[in-house]
Structure 1
Amino acid sequence: MEIISHEVEKLFDPTGILPGDRYEFLLNIEVPEDDELYSENGLYIKLIYAVDDRGPRIAQYQIFESITDTYLDFALDEEEEAAISDYCKQFIE
């Protein structure tokens, strides 16, 4: 899997209930054709990246097909999650 572009936005919690900071990332990704996740329509991952007293981490993520915005019920493996977390860490304020 390769991240080809991204968008990031810092989320604001007007209630102050959630500790730390939250960021929403949209990651456009490419996967090899032989990967079970592959789609001709392209893929993106929408994720919430949290930075709080537990440290920086992926709080949640969802994978979507790009053209149709169809949710795909797949999970990333630990190595992929670690790579994405490292990638996101570079772009937080």
Structure 2
Amino acid sequence: MEITGYEVEWIRDPFGILTGKRYEFRLDLDVDAEDDLYTPNGVYIRAVYRVENEQGKLVTYDLVEKGTDRLLEFDLEDEEETELAAFCEQHWQEAE
């Protein structure tokens, strides 16, 4: 999985319902044409990352087709999910 670009934004919780802080990531991917995940439009990941007491955790993610915003019915492999969580851990502070 190669990340070619990303954006991160702090998700505001005006009512204080959620514990910790949530961050939404949009990560553009370079997907090989031989990969099952490949689409001609391209693919991005929309992920939510939570930080509470300086501990971070990947809450959820979706694989989405660019242009159509259609959710793709795929999950990342365990190794890729670990890589995604590590990327979020390294970059969530950029939204502050």
Q: Is the TM-score greater than 0.5?
A: yes
1:9-39 deviation digits (Å, cap 9, x = unpaired): 0011111121111000000011222211111
Question: Corresponding residue for 2:79?
Answer: 79
SS of residue matched to 2:62? strand
Which residue number corresponds to residue 15 of structure 1? 15
1:29 is the counterpart of 2:23: no
User: Unaligned stretches of 5+ in structure 2?
Assistant: none
In the TM superposition, what whole-angstrom CA distance separates every residue of 1:48-81 from its partner, at most 9, and x where no partner exists?
Answer: 1111259311101111111221111111111001
In 1, the alpha carbon distance for the partners of 2:72 and 2:36 equals 11
Q: CA RMSD in A?
A: 1.4
Code of the aligned partner of 1:37 = L
Distance 1:26 1:46 in 2: 5
SS at match of 1:80: helix
Structure 1 residue runs of 4+, over 3 Å off? none
What does residue 43 of structure 1 align with?
43
More helix by share: 2
Q: Matched residues in 2 for 1:55 and 1:76: separation?
A: 22
The aligned length equals: 93
1:65 equivalent in structure 2: 65
The two structures have a TM-score, normalised by structure 1, of 0.91
Match of residue 90 from structure 2: 90
TM-score by length of 2: 0.89
Identity %: 42
